[in-house]
Structure 1
Amino acid sequence: MSYLRFDKTLMINLEESLPREILRANRSGAYHCTTIVDCNTRKYHGLLVIPVPELGDENHVLLSSLDETVIQHGAEFNLGLHKYQGDNYCPRGHKYIREFDCENVPITTYRVGGVVLTKEKIFVHFENRILIKYTLVDAHSATTLRFRPLLAFRSVRNYTHENPYASQEYQEVENGIKTCMYPGYPELFMQLNKKADFHFEPCWYKGIEYTKEQERGYDFNEDLYVPGYFEVNIKKGESIVFSAGTTEFETANLKDTFEQEAYDRTPRDSFFHCLKNSAHQFHNKQGDRHYILAGYPWFKCRARDMFVSLPGLTLAIDEIDEFESAMETAQEAILDYINDRPLGCKIYEIDDPDVLLWAIWALQQYANATSPEQCKEKYGSLLKDIIEFIRKGKHDNLFLHENGLLYANGTEKAITWMNATANGYPVTPRSGYIVEVNSLWYNALRFVAELFKDETKDHSFFTDSLEELAEKAAKSFIEIFMNEHGYLMDYVNEQTADLSVRPNMIFTLAFEYSPLDKSQKKRILDFATRELLTPKGLRSLSPKSFGYNPNYVGPQIQRDYAYHQGTAWPWLMGFYLEAYLRIYGSSGVSFVERQLIGFEEEMTQHCIGSLPELFDGNPPFKGRGAVSFAMNVALILHILKLLARYY
């Protein structure tokens, strides 16, 4: 039985099928995303969603969907599905679905009377092209397929509506047409692998609604332009391939291309393989630049997310070359930043105070996966540059104090991963000595000092000074962050010692170098287990702390106030479980394995085969936010890699 298979009962029940989404990406910024019944429920959904650099940084929906119709004896059976006002779904093609399987490539099986038709979708790697293969498995009489494309040609942030400016012009190309609705957009080529008749019949499908946007308090309806439809006859046993892309394709090669792309896919036949496939989708290669997207469908490349995610997305699945490729782009951005040059690549938020420290942590994971010598040879100069940049006070918002700790101002602007804002101010204004920033700092000092400990006499002063600074920081860390209740303060400044029980203290336990002894670590871990642990990750705030708000629902401002006030995050669970293994070793393996069950369950929920951005902090711990989130996938892969050492 397939690992990711859904039967008729689930598929025709829209309450069950519409919340389940599917994502495929081409590793260069473009993607296809919709629900498993091919009914778009977000403005970000579409069959072909691509970056258009000439129009800015956002992705753009070119082809929103493709409605298929099976025709026999003059009777038409439309397989499409769209939501309209008043909870009306039309044409309700989901009722013909008999099975959906996405272990290898997404394949939907329809049964219409005596017709059995399968639909398989492939997003071509490193090309803005989606291929859809239709196979007539069974039919007792002559059968025709009709394809009606619904076009948007708009940013994922906006909507399109009927207007007089949309071009209705098209030109015939081999076995299809090309068209472009607005200036500045690339042409869309729609072709089939055999001769098809195109009937020019322009119209607008008006008032299509997106329920996910409605839930989030946004506008939620748009009109989509249909230029006409393709018709092609199909025989029993025959396969027809439809291509939509931004360049013309040699149609005689469509079948072979589909089969080759399908052959190259790793089957999603296990928890690990689902996460490995998901990891690949965050890679975004643009020319000689290699970015890591923070998530789908709306995130770009954010520096912190990139460094936290990179080891899990690459090293944990033995793809060291991919780590090095992405780090080459990241290193360029870091050097531009610390040398006060304009950034030459599109990595955002690199100036946040903790980002350079996370970069060092990522390089530490590289050293562990390869060797300290290889890391020093390849990135030693970068590590020194970062340490000296921070030590010499060159960062605009990271100040090294006499006590050896780092201080940052976060009252006016969110500066850590807890970055939600409301009315222009941080919801969680963490300012002063921030616990994970100083955990990262201590770990960085020890790691870099250890890396260079065998250097020549000329460099001994460098390592000795780092060791001395680390000793001072360790003593100050315990004095400032440890409290009488047995856990760590979240942040401390002149006015506040924040006693909120938050998961940021867990990093101190998980990192390779920690200022805490084993008994202190165990006490803090127990505290986190009691108050923060859920089956879907660590809560961002304890239910016993003031302001607990565990449900990420409602309009934007309501969600902003809940974002880091009790919601659960899987990537935090990754660090929690690493801390657990550091403390308990092999005796903790069974506990870690049990905790992972909650994430394997998600492979058939939300976004199939991936992990969403966050979960509600209270039962039933519903998945929310972005459908696929890089840090979550990465840290669970990281834990699976750590577990493998005990088997």
Structure 2
Amino acid sequence: MTRTLCLLFTSLLIAAHAMAVEIPAYTEEYLDSMSIDIAPGSERPYVYSGYGDAFFYGTMADERTAGHMGFYWGEFKLFNDFMIKIGPTWLFRSDAKVSFKPYEIVFCWDSGTVLRVQPLFREMNYLRFKLEGVSDDAGTCFYLLCADPAISANYTEDFQLIHSRQQTTDSLWFGLASLGGEFHYMNRPKPSEDRAPTLAAYMDGPFDLVFIYAPSEEIFHRELDYIQAHPEEGVQNWKDWLLDEINISYFRCDNERINHALNWAKISLAQLWAENNTALWAGLPWFNDCWGRDTFISFAGACLVQGKFDQAKALLERFAKWQCKDRDDPNWGRIPNRARFGDISYNTADGTPWFVKGVYDYGLYSGDFDLWEEFIAEGGAVRIATEGTLKYHTDSLGFLTHGEAETWMDAVGPDGPWSPRGNRAVEVQALWEEQLRTSHAILKTFDQTAYLMGHRWDRARIKLGSSFVRSFVRSDSLGLYDHLNSDGTPDEMIRPNQLFVLSLWNKAFEDTERESIINTVRSECIYSYGVASLAQIDPDFHPYHQHVMYPKDEAYHMGVVWTWLSGAYKSAVKGGWTITSSEIDQILDLDAPGTLSELLDAVPREGVGFPRPSGTVSQAWSLAEFIRVWYQDYIGLNQYGSILPKIPEAWGSFNTILNIRGGKIWYSVDIKDEQVSIKLESLNRTGDSLFVTLFVDLRREPYEHHPDRIPIIFDGTDDGFQAELARDGKFITFLRPNGKEYRYQLFLDDESPSDFLQPAVPVGLKALQLPAHRLLTGTEIKASDADAVPAIDIADDENDDMGDGGYIYPTSPEFKPGIFDITRLRISADDQNIFFKLNFRNLTQPGWHPEYGFQLTYVAICLQTGKGETSRDVGHNSGWTLPEDLAADRFVIVGGGIQVENSSGEILCEYKPADPKYAFGNPRSNEIAFAIPREYLPGDPKSWKITLLVGAQDDHGGAGIGEFREVGVTAERWKGGGGGAGKSNVYDWLRYPKE
């Protein structure tokens, strides 16, 4: 039966007959066409991850180039890297041409040898290593360099199995087996001086091996049997999954490079899902856990615009369960900032409003309003989120108040937040307004009896709006203040956070005010490749993320480009294709192929044309915002069902599937020089109606109140909609029913890199200035002690690293037993230097900072040299007070660097590690060794009194020397246990002379 279209522009109707469209889909062949081909010697990293709990972070270099590289199962690293030998010759990856595909990475050598590394099964991410192109008698060896000591190893002619016990789990089982051909194990549990075993196999020629893991030996054997019986199923499973990921929100334009970039972004974001698609990791390799803020900033791009409504609901329900339900707790109603591996913290002010926005948008996109009803009921997640904020976190002006590090700019160092923004940040107020508005909308939909509550929420929103304009609008025409300090004074730093006011709080400003905000941020913070976190002209601007002059977290939010921020800019201006084009280049040509990093340096390094990527190599909100803008701003479908396209001309014509109200719409735009043809057709097979509007946003401009801007309405019937519109440059034109011409800007404004801030390092930046004290060099720290005379040699008992007797290490497997257990101290001296050698029962090197040589151990050597004023306070979060007779005048602090301080805490000299060649820790010998020039440590060492304290190092994730890590009452992933109020954070100590 022919249905009548509800079309107000009847003159645009060309065809009102059924246009049966086959649902489009990419095929397996397309996955091969997505190959990113990389020349030899690139040394780029790469990532493969399914949606379980495992991922592989590898490298195209000969050896791993970052400590985080390796294969992880949850929080446990199982192996670091793999190596291959053919006969007597090592097979160097850097000599190979590389093809990186969604389902495999292929290394091709000029000799004809080919290595394929393939992830298997989307839920598990096992790995297959397949070597081809070698003779049957070549003699090949394959090595997996494991990451942890093995308790036992089982070697057979069919497989090698490692059984490894960890601190927080009974056991891990993982191993290597053959999927075809001869397999000979090589029993090498301790190659060279490595502590971890090597899984090593010898084959006569080509090989086909699989790496699998399991929580028990029984499951290991069951999985192995299945894979050996179905060797190709794992790869096919992976391909099918990725095709589903790119086809659910199918997009294809005339430019295949653009298509590849978008589809790679979808695939890489899909690989950040975890726990069977119910959790979204923030980023890889080190944010493989759930962050509330990151999850719900990513929510629209990762779920809603792609039509992943089941996954969206799972995320909302997961975080609702984690929400603080205690009415007497100041965190009442908050969702956690971070939750995984038994660690839940609520230190986020913006995570909860992002969550509430996610609930609201989920209902509009999916058409599933049952969750609204559940979450707005008494005790429901949305209700207590809003009530909790009103009760505990609002001031007399209606602002949402928060701590200094409770916004997304949350980096903290030993002395507190690096970028304090308490207690009223600009974007937090925009989010709070959005939370009040959407909470009230949900309440009115399902609970008419809660009139007084809704009225109170609405009055709070109105008060907030009035206060915001009075307090945040700058009188110097530079947009908005970034935040209000706790004393009410505004912070005048120019940051991009004010952009969120435009994308979230659309009605807050007139056009002139909007332009002031946009122009200020664009001229001060926005490069052609991304958005800086601080104005380039600010004296506290940090141009690089990692630099020898400061720990990287100091720069984290003080200038560095955050990829995800470009989404707020693009949405505010309805454009930004120049930045998107740069992100396309980043996805296809830079760093880890197929994805977007967390950060970029703000300014390119000297002699390099593009900023260096930094942070995680694959970040959820970077990818999600890239995808969200694609569908919400360029294609133009918002959560209200309005299609407001602003199309990049680089696309040419395009077809896509739009997901709205739980249904699918086929949307086709055919672009010619003088005409644009638009087609819409429902792909639903249920007969349910879908209503969307074209060219006007009904939420903000109801068409009955704007007769000059009447929308086209498509009701989703089988008849579909088709129109041919005259093109006039960037605009399309057509006639209204009254005969007057209507113009709509369909295409983005032209941009060029010169329209944006030009990167430069301003002269005299504080961050790049040398400190007042002397910086020691690597050569000085590693000076030879060949002529040194021994002065002190003192031993300490093993296994006494328990503080006052009951201290427990943090539960993360990175904290290896014995790394806080000092066993020996030796001091020697020559005419120039004092030499220190500290031995421990164990040292560990996760590899995060190879320039240190070790990590997670922290030492304070308190010296009473008899030369100068003394102090009993060790500081550095040690919680330790020296006895009067051991008060010190010099303190040598050893962690992510070395510092010598006097009794006033003044730094006399310092070593800032930069080159692994001068690493001062050695896990193989369990020794930390370094030299300090004598001028900083006076007197004869034999006459010194020494107190040496050892604990866990805490650099707060941002490098630098750090401080003693807290020992709480109960051990957690990154906090020790057995301590608490009034106790120190020291696990072990020794004194000289001995007590």
TM range (shorter): 0.7 to 0.9
* Distance in structure 1 (CA, Å) of the matches to 2:559 and 2:345: 24
* Distance in structure 1 (CA, Å) of the matches to 2:263 and 2:230: 27
Give the secondary structure class of the aligned counterpart of 2:538: coil
* Distance in structure 2 (CA, Å) of the matches to 1:39 and 1:546: 40
Do the aligned partners of 1:24 and 1:123 also contact (CA within 8 Å) in 2? no
Cα deviation for residue 435 of structure 1 reads 1.0
- Give the match for residue 285 of structure 1: 275
* Distance in structure 2 (CA, Å) of the matches to 1:262 and 1:28: 12
- Give the match for residue 187 of structure 1: 173
The yes-or-no answer on 1:153 pairing with 2:147 is yes
Give the secondary structure class of the aligned counterpart of 2:296: helix
Amino acid at match of 2:498: M
Q: How does 1:159-198 map to 2 (within 5 A)?
A: 166-167=150-151, 169-172=153-156, 175-180=158-163, 182=165, 184-198=170-184
Instruction: Tell me the TM-score normalized by structure 2.
Output: 0.53
The yes-or-no answer on 1:330 pairing with 2:319 is yes
User: Going by fraction, where is helix more abundant, 1 or 2?
Assistant: 1
Amino acid at match of 2:57: C
- Give the match for residue 595 of structure 2: 610
Cα deviation for residue 258 of structure 1 reads 3.3
Q: How does 1:68-107 map to 2 (within 5 A)?
A: 68-71=84-87, 76-79=88-91, 92-95=92-95, 97-107=96-106
Q: Structure 1 residues 98, 458: CA separation in 2 closer, same or farther (over 3 Å shift)? A: closer
The yes-or-no answer on 1:240 pairing with 2:252 is no
Out of 278, 282, 304, the residue aligned to residue 315 of structure 1 is 304
* Distance in structure 2 (CA, Å) of the matches to 1:624 and 1:62: 25
Cα deviation for residue 2 of structure 1 reads 4.1
Q: Structure 1 residues 33, 254: CA separation in 2 closer, same or farther (over 3 Å shift)? A: farther
Q: Structure 1 residues 454, 365: CA separation in 2 closer, same or farther (over 3 Å shift)? A: closer
The yes-or-no answer on 1:490 pairing with 2:478 is no
Out of 36, 59, 70, the residue aligned to residue 5 of structure 1 is 36
Cα deviation for residue 35 of structure 1 reads 1.4
* Distance in structure 2 (CA, Å) of the matches to 1:276 and 1:478: 39
Q: How does 1:573-584 map to 2 (within 5 A)?
A: 573-581=566-574
Cα deviation for residue 285 of structure 1 reads 0.7
Do the aligned partners of 1:442 and 1:515 also contact (CA within 8 Å) in 2? no
Give the secondary structure class of the aligned counterpart of 2:63: coil
* Distance in structure 1 (CA, Å) of the matches to 2:530 and 2:460: 34
Cα deviation for residue 363 of structure 1 reads 2.0
* Distance in structure 2 (CA, Å) of the matches to 1:456 and 1:223: 63
* Distance in structure 2 (CA, Å) of the matches to 1:556 and 1:202: 42
- Give the match for residue 644 of structure 1: 635
Q: Structure 1 residues 420, 454: CA separation in 2 closer, same or farther (over 3 Å shift)? A: closer
The yes-or-no answer on 1:428 pairing with 2:400 is no
Out of 579, 590, 595, the residue aligned to residue 595 of structure 1 is 579
* Distance in structure 1 (CA, Å) of the matches to 2:33 and 2:61: 18
Give the secondary structure class of the aligned counterpart of 2:85: strand
The yes-or-no answer on 1:548 pairing with 2:541 is yes
Q: What are the Cα deviations for residues 467-487 of structure 1, in whole angstroms up to 9, with x where unaligned?
A: 222111101001011111221
Q: Structure 1 residues 496, 122: CA separation in 2 closer, same or farther (over 3 Å shift)? A: same
Cα deviation for residue 241 of structure 1 reads 4.1
Query: What's the % identity of the aligned pairs?
Result: 18
* Distance in structure 2 (CA, Å) of the matches to 1:490 and 1:206: 55
The yes-or-no answer on 1:50 pairing with 2:51 is no
The yes-or-no answer on 1:64 pairing with 2:80 is yes
* Distance in structure 2 (CA, Å) of the matches to 1:324 and 1:108: 40
The yes-or-no answer on 1:473 pairing with 2:464 is yes
Q: Structure 1 residues 352, 103: CA separation in 2 closer, same or farther (over 3 Å shift)? A: closer
Q: What are the Cα deviations for residues 226-256 of structure 1, in whole angstroms up to 9, with x where unaligned?
A: 254231444xxxx734333332311532522
Do the aligned partners of 2:143 and 2:200 also contact (CA within 8 Å) in 1? yes
- Give the match for residue 36 of structure 1: 60
- RMSD over equivalenced CA pairs, Å: 2.9
* Distance in structure 2 (CA, Å) of the matches to 1:549 and 1:39: 31
Cα deviation for residue 282 of structure 1 reads 1.7
Q: What are the Cα deviations for residues 449-503 of structure 1, in whole angstroms up to 9, with x where unaligned?
A: 2333455652333332222221111010010111112211111131631000011
Q: Please list every run of at least 4 consecutive aligned residues from structure 1 whose deviation after the TM superposition is greater than 6 angstroms.
A: 341-345
Do the aligned partners of 1:482 and 1:489 also contact (CA within 8 Å) in 2? yes
- Give the match for residue 377 of structure 1: 373
Q: What are the Cα deviations for residues 195-228 of structure 1, in whole angstroms up to 9, with x where unaligned?
A: 4232434264558xxxxxxxxxxxxxx7653254
* Distance in structure 2 (CA, Å) of the matches to 1:449 and 1:518: 27
Do the aligned partners of 2:395 and 2:401 also contact (CA within 8 Å) in 1? yes
Amino acid at match of 2:317: E
Do the aligned partners of 1:314 and 1:323 also contact (CA within 8 Å) in 2? yes
Q: Structure 1 residues 408, 64: CA separation in 2 closer, same or farther (over 3 Å shift)? A: closer
* Distance in structure 1 (CA, Å) of the matches to 2:137 and 2:635: 52
- Give the match for residue 214 of structure 1: none
* Distance in structure 2 (CA, Å) of the matches to 1:556 and 1:135: 48
Gaps in structure 2 of 5+ consecutive residues: 1-31, 215-219, 247-258, 605-609, 637-644, 648-995
Out of 542, 549, 553, the residue aligned to residue 560 of structure 1 is 553
Q: Structure 1 residues 635, 489: CA separation in 2 closer, same or farther (over 3 Å shift)? A: same
Do the aligned partners of 1:129 and 1:244 also contact (CA within 8 Å) in 2? yes
Q: Structure 1 residues 98, 358: CA separation in 2 closer, same or farther (over 3 Å shift)? A: closer
- Give the match for residue 229 of structure 1: 201
Q: Structure 1 residues 195, 168: CA separation in 2 closer, same or farther (over 3 Å shift)? A: farther
- Give the match for residue 119 of structure 1: 116
Out of 273, 283, 292, the residue aligned to residue 263 of structure 2 is 273
- Give the match for residue 87 of structure 1: none
Amino acid at match of 2:154: Y
* Distance in structure 2 (CA, Å) of the matches to 1:259 and 1:152: 24
* Distance in structure 1 (CA, Å) of the matches to 2:114 and 2:517: 57
Give the secondary structure class of the aligned counterpart of 1:107: strand
Q: What are the Cα deviations for residues 35-78 of structure 1, in whole angstroms up to 9, with x where unaligned?
A: 134631122111x3212xxxxxxx2222222322335xxxx442
Do the aligned partners of 1:266 and 1:273 also contact (CA within 8 Å) in 2? no
Q: Structure 1 residues 363, 605: CA separation in 2 closer, same or farther (over 3 Å shift)? A: same
Q: Structure 1 residues 371, 151: CA separation in 2 closer, same or farther (over 3 Å shift)? A: same
Gaps in structure 1 of 5+ consecutive residues: 52-58, 80-91, 155-164, 208-221, 582-590
- Give the match for residue 26 of structure 1: 50
Give the secondary structure class of the aligned counterpart of 2:147: strand
* Distance in structure 2 (CA, Å) of the matches to 1:225 and 1:491: 53
Q: Structure 1 residues 571, 5: CA separation in 2 closer, same or farther (over 3 Å shift)? A: closer
* Distance in structure 2 (CA, Å) of the matches to 1:24 and 1:391: 43
- Give the match for residue 511 of structure 2: 518
* Distance in structure 2 (CA, Å) of the matches to 1:371 and 1:459: 23
- Give the match for residue 131 of structure 1: 128
Q: Structure 1 residues 458, 179: CA separation in 2 closer, same or farther (over 3 Å shift)? A: closer
Give the secondary structure class of the aligned counterpart of 2:124: coil
> May I ask how many residue pairs the two structures share in their alignment?
562
